[in-house]
Amino acid sequence: MTLNTLLPGSPSVNGQQTTLGVMGGGQLGRMFVQAAQAMGYFTVVLDPDPASPAGLVSHHHIRTAYDDEQGLAQLMQRCDAITTEFENVPAHALAALAAQRPVAPSAACVAVAQDRIKEKAHFEQCAPISGVAPAPHAVITTDASLRAVPDHLLPGILKTARMGYDGKGQVRVTTREALAAAWDDLDKVPCVLEKMLPLRAECSVIVARGADGQVVTFPVQKNTHHDGILALTEVFDGAVDTTLAQRAQASTVAIANHLRYVGVLCVEYFVVDTAGGTLDLVVNEMAPRPHNSGHYTQNACDVSQFEAQVRALAGLPLTPPRQHSPTIMVNLLGDLWFQANAVRALPGPQAESPPWGAVLVLPGTHLHLYGKLGARPGRKMGHLNITGASVAQVRDTTSQVLALLGLPPLDA
Ligand code: ATP
Ligand code: MG
């Protein structure tokens, strides 16, 4: 269904307050719900988990599987428009919803982001317009395609086509034998083998695109990963080379336009050295939703990625976001809840809250916790946005925060 402007509070399709729905109840859904509520919308979350972070704060929580017909029917009945907070929502469920209600992003766009093979093909199609190509790669779906892999792709990273996140479903391989064994270990599911690139840096770009084709772009963020999981995002002038940043933004707009995308889209890039000694960009992957690397927008920009998601879904105007403070975002993984054990040599696996009091006394620290009940190593529990008047101040505060939390220091 096409999207008309849905103003908050006005009588909706079913005579209720205008209501926005989201498939998935994780932290991204929670922050979408909070942004929607701040603007006066009612919200509904569909997620089977009774303790899902978004379900806990939404006006209504439908606790069924993502493809449960009754759950989907209820979502349609209650909502004026529906979005998703994760790409692995069944595309056919989104398509069913879209028959009755505006859904953004569309099932077709989500299907591209769900599958690395389709995603890479899309990036290659866009390359002549976007000016940025994906990493050299081969698609592996059969024994014959495995044998046909060219030698120059090794050493490489074998990635499952579907369901990968935070470095899961990836195996680094250096020889053809290791590649064959790794594919075997992955039960020979469809995969992509990517050439291992020497990365200088990683960055990502968030854009929001409306149903009318209007696009707004957020500043480019520089990302640091530890063990395949995002650890830090830095956003200020000079964090990413200016020319590369402009190219990354233009490329992301081209990718969104080519898909006729509606909603918030994040595209990740690698910064690599060229043979000529200059730096170049390679497009890695995209997320059809707000992204962990865009959380800084909540405190450093006048429009957050979640407000942009609400505006795009509700057909409201998209105004260009303005960054008002340099910023660094620190991801808070469950490991931090066990740090005290290591520091104080406490026995056993009991979790203890990190020293928030000592962190929050520092000016410009903004704590976001997702309300998850159990801390586990590697689990995303929250993030801290650190803002300041200058880059030096933000870096200084961040260094203090990292030391308090027992995390590795910033690079010099
Ligand atoms: P995400 O959590 O972003 O969804 P993911 O599991 O989908 O992660 P990727 O983003 O493809 O996986 O890869 C995770 C990380 O592994 C990248 O951020 C990068 O640090 C590294 N990496 C991935 N592909 C390559 C490559 N071709 N060459 C070098 N490093 C790579
Ligand atoms: Mg990634």
Residues 172 and 314 in one domain: no
Predicted confidence at residue 1, as pLDDT, reads: 56
- Do β-strands 199-209 and 221-226 pair in parallel, antiparallel, or remain unpaired? antiparallel
The total number of residues shown for the chain amounts to 412
d(CA 293, CA 367): 15
CATH label of the domain that carries residue 153: 3.30.1490.20
Residues 24 and 71 in one domain: yes
Task: Give the closest residue to 333 by CA, choosing from 23, 27, 24.
Answer: 27
d(CA 43, CA 9): 12
Residues 59 and 188 in one domain: no
Predicted confidence at residue 15, as pLDDT, reads: 72
Please give the average per-residue pLDDT across 397-402, as a whole number. Answer: 98
Residues 273 and 329 in one domain: yes
CATH label of the domain that carries residue 49: 3.40.50.20
- Least-confidence region, from 80-94, 209-223, 282-296: 80-94
Distance from the alpha carbon of residue 245 to the mean position of ligand 1, in angstroms: 19
Protein residue closest via CA to atom 13 of ligand 1: 167
342, part of any domain: yes
Atom of ligand 1 at shortest range from CA of 282: 27
Predicted confidence at residue 412, as pLDDT, reads: 75
Residues 267 and 391 in one domain: yes
Residues 246 and 143 in one domain: no
For the chain, how are helix, strand and coil distributed in percent, rounded to 5?
A: 35, 25, 40
- Do β-strands 137-140 and 81-84 pair in parallel, antiparallel, or remain unpaired? unpaired
Which of 174, 195, 216 terminates a domain? The answer is 195
Predicted confidence at residue 91, as pLDDT, reads: 84
Beta-sheet strand order (sheet of 191-195):
137-140, 191-195, 156-160, 170-173
Please give the average per-residue pLDDT across 228-246, as a whole number. Answer: 96
Token couple for 201: 């840096």
Kindly indicate the confidence band of residue 4, based on its pLDDT and cuts at 50, 70 and 90. confident
Atom of ligand 1 at shortest range from CA of 165: 6
Residue 364 neighbours by CB under 8 Å, 6+ apart: 325, 386, 387, 388, 393, 394, 397
Judged against a pLDDT cut of 90, whether residue 61 lies above it is answered with yes
Distance from the alpha carbon of residue 396 to the mean position of ligand 1, in angstroms: 29
Residue 281 neighbours by CB under 8 Å, 6+ apart: 132, 244, 247, 248, 251, 269, 270, 271, 272
Predicted confidence at residue 345, as pLDDT, reads: 52
Which of 103, 122, 149 terminates a domain? The answer is 103
Residues 271 and 363 in one domain: yes
Name the residue range of residue 169's domain.
Answer: 136-195
Query: Vertex 361, ends 358 and 363: CA angle to 5°?
Result: 135
Count other Cβ atoms within 10 Å, centred on residue 184: 10
Residues 232 and 340 in one domain: yes
Residues 242 and 371 in one domain: yes
Residue 99: exposed, middle, or buried by beta-carbon count in 10 A (0-12, 13-18, 19+)? exposed
For all residues of the chain together, what is the average pLDDT? Answer: 94
Distance from the alpha carbon of residue 362 to the mean position of ligand 2, in angstroms: 31
Residues 172 and 212 in one domain: no
DSSP secondary structure string for all residues of 374-387? S--TT-EEEEEEEE
User: Which segments of 238-385 does DSSP mark as H helices, in order?
Assistant: 242-258, 297-300, 305-314, 339-344, 356-360
Judged against a pLDDT cut of 90, whether residue 164 lies above it is answered with no
Q: What is the pLDDT of residues 339-390, one digit of tens each?
A: 865 555 555 567 889 999 999 999 999 999 999 988 998 999 999 999 999 9
Residues with CB under 6 A from ligand 1: 135, 157, 159, 164-168, 170, 194, 196-197, 199, 202, 225, 228, 268, 284-285
Q: What is the pLDDT of residues 172-201, one digit of tens each?
A: 999 999 999 999 999 999 999 999 999 999
Ranges of beta strands (E only) in 141-210 are 156-160, 170-173, 191-195, 199-209
Predicted confidence at residue 346, as pLDDT, reads: 54
Sequence-distant contacts of 339-344: CB under 8 A, at least 24 apart: 339/405, 339/406, 342/406, 343/406
Please give the average per-residue pLDDT across 210-226, as a whole number. Answer: 97
DSSP secondary structure string for all residues of 51-81? T-TTTTTSSEEE-S-TT-HHHHHHHHHH-SE
Please give the average per-residue pLDDT across 312-327, as a whole number. Answer: 97
Kindly indicate the confidence band of residue 301, based on its pLDDT and cuts at 50, 70 and 90. very high
Predicted confidence at residue 313, as pLDDT, reads: 98
Predicted confidence at residue 379, as pLDDT, reads: 94
d(CA 86, CA 202): 22
Please give the average per-residue pLDDT across 142-156, as a whole number. Answer: 97
Kindly indicate the confidence band of residue 292, based on its pLDDT and cuts at 50, 70 and 90. very high
Total number of domains constituting the chain:
3
Predicted confidence at residue 166, as pLDDT, reads: 67
Q: What is the pLDDT of residues 6-57, one digit of tens each?
A: 999 877 666 789 999 999 999 999 999 999 999 999 999 999 999 999 999 9
Predicted confidence at residue 351, as pLDDT, reads: 82
Residues 39 and 180 in one domain: no
SS3 182: helix
163, part of any domain: yes
d(CA 218, CA 94): 27
Percent of the chain at pLDDT > 70 equals 96
Task: Give the closest residue to 247 by CA, choosing from 267, 223, 276, 230.
Answer: 267
Which of 145, 167, 195 terminates a domain? The answer is 195
Q: What is the pTM of this model?
A: 0.95
Residues 167 and 203 in one domain: no
d(CA 317, CA 298): 19
Q: Which ligand is nearest to the CA of 135?
A: 1
117, part of any domain: no
